[in-house]
Amino acid sequence: MLIKQAVILAAGESSRFWPLNYQNKSLFKIMGRPLIWHTINSLIKAGVKDVVVIQGPEREIEETLKIYDLKCEIKYVVQQKHEGMGDALMCARDLISGSFFVVGGHKIDAGDYLSKMAKESKEVVLLGVETDQPWHYGILRIENEKVVDLIEKPERGKEPSNLKIGAVYLLPPSFFEYHQRVPKDHYSLEQALRFYIKEEKVGLVRVAEDFSSLKYPWQLFNLIKYLFDKNLKDQKVHIGKNTKVFEGAVIKGPCHIGDNCIIGNNAVVRDYTDLEDGAVVGAQSEVARCLFQEGAHMHSGFLGDSILGKDCRIGAGTITGNLRLKRDEISSVIKGEKVMTGRKALGVIVGENTKIGINVSLMPGVLIGSRSVVGPASVVFENIEDDTTFYTKFEKVVDKKEKL
């Protein structure tokens, strides 16, 4: 079965993606292109010719993509309110002409699965991905190699399997009728799928690893690795137009350095680092496995396994701790909840337009919001919210002999 139509869902708020949720997560750039560009390009290579993009009322997806010449027809639909994937999908109903794929805007590897899903004999085909944290996802119940149920965020210890539903679906036009049978809420798509699973046979394509899951901000590192391994083989380095690399600097690939960047004297940029247009790495700095969005600058110091949003400024001598002393898994805090990141190396993740002063120490897994200020010589152990000014308070230390 040849499927030529796909719907891309790119209208969500993504609150668990903080502090990088200042824009739709599919607009984050890797290798000079937004994630949704990589997703559409992947679909085109898999034979998709007609793409429907569901975006929010800000129309930021449409505005971003209009400068790119993508070799397919793209239609845009606005979801006026953030009311879940099911509601977003219903916005595209009048544009659907046959069986179609549904993918998230960040699913840069979607094209890798489409041919396998299209070969299934069932009208609805799901992507099942193994996970070691099933309580965070919609989990499939499998009996005799058949999908028999979908459980949303099961209780720990009561998971029906370790197979989460991936953000790639093959659906028929009749699926809209199932969606109309469920209450309109944030999980209406999952509820409609449960109805379909109970009444019809559903196909399943299993994969061991999901490179493009993007629920949390640190998962961007997986997408960088996927795209670099695919496009920058043999430790290649891409350097864009008008970029200046000064004397003594070392760039160890794979790395992507965009247009109009500056790499200062004796700086080291290495190992899966992506510097987008206008980024600056100052003299004597070391940057390893980092993502700088457009216009992000650091003066000198060390950043490891870290992400800087647009137009951030990092003062001289600032360093990240990207490993725990015990070298065990790093946790972070999202929406007040401690979340294990699955990573033993993780530095700081910073929103847009935040300024961090000189000689600041940033502990592993710290998240700093947008438009915030971190004062000089501060030590940051906990998250800093958006629009916040943070300074470490120093108290005078009195020698014990002086007290006597």
Whether pLDDT at 174 is above 70: yes
In the chain, % of residues over pLDDT 90? 64
> Number of C-alpha atoms within 13 angstroms, CB side, residue 166?
31
Which pLDDT belongs to residue 401? 38
pLDDT tens sequence across 243-265: 999 999 999 999 999 999 999 99
Q: Could you tell me the domains of the chain?
A: 5-207 (3.90.550.10), 217-390 (2.160.10.10)
Question: Mind listing the pLDDT tens digit for each residue in 19-78?
Answer: 999 999 999 999 999 999 999 999 999 999 999 999 999 999 999 999 998 888 899 999
What is the model's pLDDT at position 242? 98
Q: Angle, nearest 10°, between helix axes 35-45 and 111-119?
A: 40
- Interatomic CA distance for residues 323 and 289, integer angstroms: 13
Tokens at residue 15, please?
């609150």
**What is the torsion angle, in degrees rounded to the nearest 10, for the CA atoms of residue 93, residue 98, residue 103 and residue 109?**
-160
**Within 139-211, where are the H helices?**
175-179, 188-199
Q: For 229-233, what is the mean pLDDT?
A: 90
Banded model confidence at residue 395, pLDDT cuts 50, 70, 90:
low
**What pLDDT was estimated at residue 220?**
97
Res. 1 pLDDT band, cuts 50 70 90: low
Q: How confident is the model at residue 183 (pLDDT cuts 50, 70, 90)?
A: confident
Mean pLDDT of 336-361: 96
Query: Does pLDDT of 84 surpass 90?
Result: no
